[in-house]
A and B are shown apart, each in its own frame.
Chain A
């Protein structure tokens, strides 16, 4: 297979890599260049100001610092909760059912659940935003959760969840989890399906319960998938923005309580007329994401190139 190897490789890579470099890499390089200027975004003049934008980023206590904090919280909470729920659901749907003739099964209605859980994945963020805004609304404006809480005698925030500084971020994260869990349920289910059934059946004969079964067999064998999920979810976490834009008061409020990095970039670029400053923040976000991914990939993956 040595013959014509490199021409082949080249012919297959030229177009995708070329297109990618031209339309993705190059624009990003320009964004980096912009971040070194004072460009407003609506003018054709600017000057270079070195790394001032980067220095000023970390002095901005109104938007940037809260946004970094909130993005950090999402970066931790979203993957943990989503993966935990995804694993739990996947385990239940695939292995949580009765044991029949020595074979272990998923709970009843597993197929139905899989279809339903995945559904939010196909909704556009715009639709999800419209939907949950109503779910979180104040009680007297038709809020589903506030209404439910009050009807069972529990306290509910009078202005709804999204107008409450203490609740808004948690409310946003809940929606993110809601829309992501289905994907990871299917993702982990698929991985679990590839674990030989004999392992479980042997465990059942040994009298192992579901809990030990999960922690001794499923989780270790799923570790690669969990890591992949972690990376995907980290990317989602860093990218959270459109949902907040659609859902929260003042697109990141109230009073910056749900401001995230993506939203601040947007605000500076298009509402403040400070494209260069926004670009600097974008570059920081990019490198943060990149190092996160590299670290996970480096430590988490076996190299497996064949031929």
Chain B
């Protein structure tokens, strides 16, 4: 007898299902609760429901190049409502990880650069420094952002809401060594 509705595993599906949080992807019944619960799906090129089925269809390039994965705000509405226990938010993280690792993200992509700027600052001193984050993010994407952020920065400054001393751990060197040992291959 011919295969009856059995999904034929493809390489991409196996890759995604092998990431932490990706295991349940084959349990999806395409009910669309995720897309209906998502506060940003109205702006996505592919809604979460579509992305899930595209992964299962092996449409790697289209999934990893999609803008949708960068519109996920991590609100977990989809995840708590999914009747099949798929943690879609974690799947979105897995897709972002893969898109970065495998070079599907354009160099000046805004969301990617925000996250990577955040991470590079944290890796450097152990804590987030808001001023360094904004500066790095602007220089990586569009330096005009520095001017755009200035009014907000000023408002925070006059209210004493910008750290006077840049935050840092006691032993930055040791921290950096630890990060270098433990991080994956994604960060640049």
Interaction A to B: no
What is A's interface to B at a CB cutoff of 8 Å? none
Interface residues of B (CB under 8 A from A): none
